[in-house]
């Protein structure tokens, strides 16, 4: 079984790289939104971000599944860094899903785009006023995204490389 470990590491890193490349559209969208006032540009940014969701989700699953298989093969479930990594990534995953539901999917609805809530698809509605859209955008906390989407995964990477406990 150890013969598969280099392939699993390769698949794990490939999944992570693909995930972060696909996710880059969303984080840059989050930063750019704060500068936009034109509804057409806001819609375009939201659509661009949404266009990477399937790739992002599949890559996250590839990264996660390969990362869960390796400890079985290597018999290292007794290592604290494995558990810390898994717990942190699960926390990040659920935070991002919750945050997306409350912030960006709501914004899609506000600007008159089709949107989803808990997996249910809804058609576009009449857009909210530009002032309401701007007020919602200004409430978006991009700093939280940076911590949850970059700092914590960077710490998980540190755990995987240095295996401190």
Percent of the chain past pLDDT 90, that is, above it, reads: 95
| Bridge partners (DSSP) listed for residue 121 | 116
Whether 119 shows a pLDDT value over 90: the answer reads: no
21's CB contacts (< 8 A; 6+ apart) are: none
Distance between CA atoms of residues 111 and 127, nearest Å: 5
Diameter over CA atoms, the chain: 60
Distance between CA atoms of residues 11 and 1, nearest Å: 16
Residue 154 binned pLDDT confidence (cut-offs 50, 70, 90): very high
132's CB contacts (< 8 A; 6+ apart) are: 110
Phi, psi of 116 (to 5 degrees): -125, 145
Distance between CA atoms of residues 151 and 157, nearest Å: 10
Residue 103 binned pLDDT confidence (cut-offs 50, 70, 90): very high
Do 116 and 122 contact (CB within 8 A), yes or no?
A: yes
| Bridge partners (DSSP) listed for residue 117 | 120
Do 130 and 39 contact (CB within 8 A), yes or no?
A: yes
Q: What angle do CA 60, 66, 72 make, to 5 degrees?
A: 140
Mean pLDDT of the chain: 95
């Amino acid at each position: 079984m150890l013969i598969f470990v280099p392939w699993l590491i390769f698949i794990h890193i490939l999944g992570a790289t693909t995930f972060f490349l696909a996710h880059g559209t969303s984080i840059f969208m989050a930063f750019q939104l704060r500068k936009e006032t034109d509804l057409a540009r806001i819609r375009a940014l939201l659509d661009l971000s949404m266009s990477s969701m399937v790739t992002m989700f599949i890559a996250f699953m590839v990264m996660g599944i390969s990362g869960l298989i390796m400890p079985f093969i290597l018999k290292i479930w007794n290592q604290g860094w494995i558990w810390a990594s898994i717990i942190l990534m699960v926390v990040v995953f659920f935070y991002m899903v919750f945050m997306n539901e409350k912030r960006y999917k709501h914004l899609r609805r506000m600007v008159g785009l089709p949107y989803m809530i808990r997996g249910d698809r809804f058609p576009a509605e009449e857009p909210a006023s530009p002032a309401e859209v701007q007020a919602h955008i200004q409430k978006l906390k991009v700093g939280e995204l940076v911590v949850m989407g970059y700092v914590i995964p960077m710490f998980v990477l540190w755990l995987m490389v240095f295996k401190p406990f």
